[in-house]
Amino acid sequence: MHRVLLLTLVGLVGFAALVSIAQIWVQFLGWDVYAKLMVTVGILALLVGFLAIVKIDFGEHKRLRDENYLD
């Protein structure tokens, strides 16, 4: 699960980078559409990052509980 979230995050960042480079050189999107797309990608990246952190934290909590460090 961590791998999927990490690959999704890397994919989102890569997509944003490619679209940004293309927009600078070719301007294939209107700037309003480009801004909306980048904000959407940013929100999705934050969501995926949050899910990854929550997943890691719950996994650590479960491991500590299984090893009887937590009650």
Quick one: which of 58, 70, 64 has its CA closest to 5? 58
DSSP state of 69: S
For residue 71, give the DSSP letter. Answer: -
pTM score of the predicted model? 0.75
Each residue of 4-31: pLDDT tens digit?
888 999 999 999 999 999 999 999 999 9
* Domain regions of the chain by residue span: 2-66
Six-digit token string for 45: 């990246």
Condensed to tens digits (0 to 9), the pLDDT of residues 40-58 reads 999 999 999 999 888 887 7
Q: Please give the Cα distance from 11 to 43 (Å, whole number).
A: 14
Cβ atoms < 10 Å from Cβ of 8? 17
